[in-house]
Amino acid sequence: MSFVKKLYSRNFFILNLILVGVLLGAGLTYLGISRGARSAAVTSAILRAESPADSAPANVKAALAEAEAVQDAFRYVADKVQPAVVEVNVVEKAQAPESNPQDQLPWRFFFNAPDDGSGQQQQPFTEKGLGSGIIVRQDGKTVYVLTNNHVAGSASDITVITHDGKDYKATLVGKDERKDIALIKFQSDSQGVSVASLGDSSAVRVGDWAIAIGSPLGLVSSVTTGTVSAVNRSGGPDGNINDFIQTDASINKGNSGGALVNIRGEVIGMNTWIASSTGGSIGLGFAIPINNVKKAIDDFITKGKVEYGWMGIGLDSLDKASANELGADPQKAVIAASVFKSSPAEKGGVMPGDVILSVNGEEIKEMEQLQRIVGDLPAGKAASLEVLRDGKRQSVTVDIEVRKDSTAANDGNYFPGLIVRSLKYEDLDQDKLPKDVKGVFVLSVADKSPGSIVGVKAQDIITEVNDKPISSVKEFYAAVNDASAKKLAFTVNRDGETVSTLAYVKK
């Protein structure tokens, strides 16, 4: 048979077909084994990358599980609260200010604002700034946002940017400088607006988790974490009467008005100011406790302003020496230095020199605390005060009235209108005091008050009241309150000379 015929023979074709099949099978087997090996290697690498703790000791695995549980809690808080915190952009019309070094303090404007470096503007101008806010209520289409007065209180134009990036024009509902709070509102057709859950700031303890949410430097919906460093801090900027929650959660310009929340996602405070030598966060942030502003939110919505209770007491905090002369605890010495004439306090029997120990059973430790308590008392209600007078505890009842700024600011109605200190007052230079002089040191005199009218001046040493020698703060107030005396006159030592004042006729 020729070679060509063999190529086309049946037996040769079958043989070729078998050989091709063997070769294909061998090739596919090789490819399958190779791919499987590579796949197994990749899978092994992925498993090693995704589960590095698989080979960790049992105690490490348990610790990692606990850490992930905390991480889940933070994620929950962020998811829950971020939609209820907004960015607040403002435009404020400003007048050319006088140069003042205090304007550069870090807390002066605790929100982002341009600084041209000049320190002074010669012409009226508009100033842009930003802060944060907390959605606290929705009534139909009206959404209410709580923020700081120093953020939005003087703004001519307010824009709110929500977590989803939408912006709304907002208007001011009300503001209050004493607590540095403001309420703004905007209109939204959405019925699903996230409203923050307000917690109980009185339950906050040092060491609690603290989570700050806001727009620092314009970085919207930033979340920082830390702990509560302290509670009941006082001494806020610009005469703020709040106490504060101190936190080391990172807070910067733009956080002002934002939320400080606990690990449950409840708002416990509103971030307000920082203490810093650089203007940036150094772990000293301060928030207004949310309990301080709950009543104010309702007041803003119903009245457009915060309505404070008023007694009519000129308060002062006492130094250790003066408190000792009154028989009071220096750590809890808040005194009624003067009493407003015809005020609820005078009608209720409060006298100058009374050391206020408690109000409605709540112990008083500092002046700002007493101001907050009285301010939150509703007008028309009676308040029970325990006072220390002549070394004895007494109870008085005062009917609270509404505080009117115009009335409260009239220092001329405060009797006697003097702030006095023991001659052993720690800040007095004993070497500069006249030798062998007894009495009380006059720290300040209220303008147009009886003390001012008769001629008492700051830095005088009052040695006699109505010709009766005195040697302590206790004796001074006993003489001032003497019901048998129809007038009030003083003998003072002024620059080493003895001076008699005019007499004020009591009414």
pLDDT value at position 25?
Answer: 53
Percent of the chain with pLDDT over 70: 83
pLDDT value at position 41?
Answer: 46
pLDDT value at position 8?
Answer: 43
Which tens digits make up the pLDDT trace of 121-133? 556 678 899 999 9
Find the mean pLDDT for residues 198-215.
97
- pLDDT score of 6 more than 80: no
Nearest alpha carbon to residue 260 among 236, 225, 300: 225
- pLDDT score of 171 more than 70: yes
CA distance 39 to 50: 16
What single-letter DSSP state applies at residue 163?
T
pLDDT value at position 234?
Answer: 86
pLDDT value at position 114?
Answer: 46
Range 386-392, long-range pairs (CB < 8 A, 24+ positions): 386/356, 386/357, 386/358, 387/336, 387/350, 387/354, 387/355, 387/356, 387/357, 388/326, 388/327, 388/328, 388/354, 388/355, 388/357, 389/351, 389/353, 389/354, 389/355, 390/474, 390/478, 391/326, 391/327, 391/474
Alpha-carbon Rg for the chain, nearest whole angstrom, is 36
The residues carrying an active-site annotation are 150, 180, 256
Find the mean pLDDT for residues 65-78.
94
Going from the C-alpha of 124 to that of each of 80, 89, 96, 208, 418, the distances in angstroms are: 42, 20, 6, 46, 41
pLDDT category at 32 given cuts 50, 70, 90 is low
pLDDT value at position 50?
Answer: 53
Work out the number of other CB atoms within 10 angstroms of the CB of residue 92.
19
pLDDT category at 278 given cuts 50, 70, 90 is confident
Which tens digits make up the pLDDT trace of 303-313? 999 999 999 99
Find the mean pLDDT for residues 491-499.
95
pLDDT category at 79 given cuts 50, 70, 90 is very high
pLDDT value at position 304?
Answer: 95
* Residue of 282 and 107 predicted with greater confidence: 282
Find the mean pLDDT for residues 332-349.
95
pLDDT value at position 53?
Answer: 65
pLDDT value at position 120?
Answer: 53
CA distance 66 to 496: 72
- pLDDT score of 270 more than 80: yes
pLDDT value at position 336?
Answer: 97
pLDDT value at position 407?
Answer: 81
pLDDT value at position 96?
Answer: 59
- pLDDT score of 43 more than 80: no
Tally of residues, the chain: 507
Residue-averaged pLDDT of the chain: 87
Ordered by where they begin, the domains of the chain are 73-97+127-304 (2.40.10.120), 309-411 (2.30.42.10), 415-505 (2.30.42.10)
Going from the C-alpha of 424 to that of each of 123, 324, 341, 390, 492, the distances in angstroms are: 51, 10, 30, 19, 17
- pLDDT score of 11 more than 80: no
Which tens digits make up the pLDDT trace of 230-252? 999 988 887 788 999 999 999 99
pLDDT value at position 5?
Answer: 43
- pLDDT score of 78 more than 90: yes
* Residue of 327 and 9 predicted with greater confidence: 327
- pLDDT score of 109 more than 70: no
* Residue of 136 and 19 predicted with greater confidence: 136
* Residue of 166 and 281 predicted with greater confidence: 166
Percent of the chain with pLDDT over 90: 71
b/e map of 152-190 (b: 16 or more CB within 10 Å)?
A: bbbbeebbbbbbeeeebebebbbbbbbbbbbbbbbebee
Which tens digits make up the pLDDT trace of 439-475? 999 999 999 999 999 999 999 999 999 999 999 999 9
DSSP secondary structure letters along 427-471? TS-GGGSPTT--SEEEEEE-TTSHHHHHT--TT-EEEEETTEE--
pLDDT value at position 408?
Answer: 79
Find the mean pLDDT for residues 212-230.
94
pTM (whole model) above 0.85: no
